[in-house]
Amino acid sequence: MGVYLITGEERFLVQQKEAELKNAALPDLSLADMNYSYYKENFDIAMLLNDCDMPPFMAEKRLICVHDSGLFVTGRKDDTTAVAKYIVNLPDTTVLIFNETDTHGNNALSKAVKKYGEVFDFKRMKPYELVNYIKKKCPVKIPAEYFVACVGNDMERLNGELDKLLTFTKGKDITEADIDEACSKTPEMNIFKMMDAIGGKDTAAAISVYNNMLAAKDSPFRVLKMLVRQLKLMLECKFLSEKGMAPKQIADELGLLEMHARGYLEQSRNFKKVDLFNGLNACYKCDNDIKTGRIDDELGVELIILSLGK
């Protein structure tokens, strides 16, 4: 098996798999330069196939990596067909890796790779999958759900923050306080804090969170988008709770962490449904007013926060 297709939304796992395959094909890095080729986007197919035919130099394998070739989507039919026919007789000494952002999965080359090689399609992990991933990866005890809630669902960021956290705690079990002190929180967590302040009628604290977000280079427009998302989720959680669904069921229904679902539910108790609807409409109007130049973006979002607190 010498041909591989790696694709999917979870690019961290895509890059991880490519590195794994490359290390397996060329374990001796001293010979890598003589047995490795890289192609990207618009390249000559004849050159690629000729490269595949070349025997390795003082090594067992020759490695060829192709990124975003366009061969797995429409537009390069002749080239796609040529490569699909070629890999039937790919030399045993050649490892050919396709790393593709876009694939349709049903053209000639996709079918050929499935038949004669292997396809790795990494879907974006769901929140509970990320929690399980962190639990398995972390060598000490960690409140994994809280960690994912604070850091977000980007796997590269999660791994970076986990490494930083492990260095900070020096091999000890990790607590929520450690996460609060050592990790960079996502803007979404700041929106949670803002809505907590709004629900508690503490508009000064809510405005303080907003100003801190602006100081951290979050744009007012992005804050507005996150406010819309927060209000929608609060409203959805409120509706589902009224239908008799428990927080775990709500989390599964909306693709959330259970901790987040409980948080949205708790916050939604400070608002009537009509208040949440009105808040959403005010956000949509603010969005339009900013885009049409009727109001300054920073002021417009501040007025939304003040109105939500009334």
Q: How far apart are CA 17 and CA 72, in angstroms?
A: 19
% of the chain surpassing 90 pLDDT: 62
**Neighbour-count burial for 113-129, b at 16+ CB within 10 Å, e otherwise:** beeebebbebeebebbe
Q: How far apart are CA 74 and CA 78, in angstroms?
A: 10
pLDDT score at 97:
96
pLDDT score at 126:
86
pLDDT tens-digit series, residues 173-208: 999 999 988 988 888 888 888 988 988 889 999 999
Encoding tokens for residue 114? 């499935």
Tell me how many degrees the CA angle 229-296-185 measures, rounded to the nearest 5.
40
Low-confidence ranges of the chain (pLDDT < 70): 1, 105
pLDDT score at 246:
93
Give the domains, in start order, of the chain with CATH numbers. Answer: 3-121 (3.40.50.300), 127-182 (no CATH), 187-308 (1.20.272.10)
Tell me how many degrees the CA angle 220-222-227 measures, rounded to the nearest 5.
95
pLDDT score at 226:
92
pLDDT tens-digit series, residues 224-257: 999 999 999 999 999 999 999 999 999 989 988 8
pLDDT score at 1:
67
Q: Are 280 and 231 in contact (CB under 8 A)?
A: yes
